[in-house]
Structure 1
């Protein structure tokens, strides 16, 4: 049996815009701003970069590079314990906004013996809360460097950067002896393209261009919050 013929399967699941209608990392950053923590100019730069992407004036890699650097700068000097406490507080609100399909999805993956892996560009401090809420043991968010209990302003790892999610998926699958040809990827944006391209069961969730166009050209199923569980059931059965 080759590695990719393995019966073991994984499912890599995006968060922002896929499992949750909002970008939970931006919601956390807004809370940081409202509490008077962090650097206001850097917080504004994060929002500017995201807005320019949505307006089409910059591309996705540039947005990731700029927003990652600015997010790190925004947190510089903040105590990690403070950010964790803010994440816990805001998650109590955000958890009620999860798309209705999410909890049934996790249950179906578990029943089928497929290991879910939640990966997001939002910070690990809040992604871990989402995963724990869903009973998912494995997750990975962006990691910002901490020394002596405070953020330094640097970013150790950003899943949304080129090759980020792909590297995580390959390591995760290899550690579990799982093949990718029958594994699942669920995502909605350019940062998910690399993992959608390597699994045998890609599902493109409510995407806009350019991912929507690529999905059409490559014959990838395009799903939405109403029919995604039907497509997941088909993926699990095949």
Structure 2
């Protein structure tokens, strides 16, 4: 299971989409900065999603989807160099590759298809009759959300690659948790749990090791 923002990309695909909507005149120009500020604290994640939802309220879903496609066409050039090799490695070892992100599903789906992921899931905003209503249907990172997609629950071996404290629940549930260039908070959690910490130069080596031991069975959070 792979996180998108900060793990495969250096920045948030969702913020890039919001900026793209602002550039197209579809949302107010000051909205991206407001949402970005709210996203900086775990305590204001829910208000951030609500602000995002209000910003796109009244927009046709087809217009947001079209903008998401254009945004991803630019963002894909910013992928870390290891990404496609890592996904090819996981697929060669018969892993089901799941892309999970707090960014809107509208842009996550473009990323998932482009990268050849088997499953992709992002935040979902409410739509009625093809128009956004201003509501939030689901996000992987909102309090009380179900963090693990159904395809991942009960599988023989779960490998998770994430970079922030928002990924902690997923990493804790994994047989092979890997912290990628982690935030300060996640560094502390990784040290306490004994999770491997990698950067863009070492991640492929560690993923190869983890896929080689994947047949030994799943023991979540085993110390390294």
TM-score by length of 2: 0.90
Looking at structure 2, the residues matched to 41 and 96 of structure 1 have their Cα atoms a distance apart, in angstroms, of 26
Is residue 208 of structure 2 the alignment partner of residue 233 of structure 1?
Answer: yes
Kindly tell me the number of residue pairs found equivalent between the two proteins.
Answer: 213
- Aligned position for 1:213: 188
Looking at structure 2, the residues matched to 73 and 170 of structure 1 have their Cα atoms a distance apart, in angstroms, of 26
Looking at structure 2, the residues matched to 75 and 37 of structure 1 have their Cα atoms a distance apart, in angstroms, of 8
TM-score by length of 1: 0.85
Higher-RCO chain (CA-CA 8 Å, sequence separation at least 6): 1
RMSD (Å), alpha carbons: 1.5
Is residue 22 of structure 2 the alignment partner of residue 45 of structure 1?
Answer: no
Residue number among 67, 71, 84 corresponding to 1:86 in the alignment: 67
8 Å contact from structure 2 (residues 3, 101) kept in 1: yes
- Aligned position for 2:19: 30
Looking at structure 1, the residues matched to 28 and 54 of structure 2 have their Cα atoms a distance apart, in angstroms, of 7
Structure 1 portions without partners, runs of 5+: 1-11, 54-58
Residue number among 191, 194, 203 corresponding to 2:166 in the alignment: 191
Residue number among 115, 119, 122 corresponding to 1:138 in the alignment: 119
Q: CA deviation at 1:162?
A: 3.1
Residue number among 43, 48, 51 corresponding to 1:70 in the alignment: 51
Looking at structure 1, the residues matched to 98 and 18 of structure 2 have their Cα atoms a distance apart, in angstroms, of 24
Deviation per CA, 1:107-133: give whole Å up to 9, x if none: 111110111100001011100000100
What secondary structure, in the 3-state scheme, does the structure 2 residue paired with 1:160 have?
A: coil
Structure 2 portions without partners, runs of 5+: 214-224
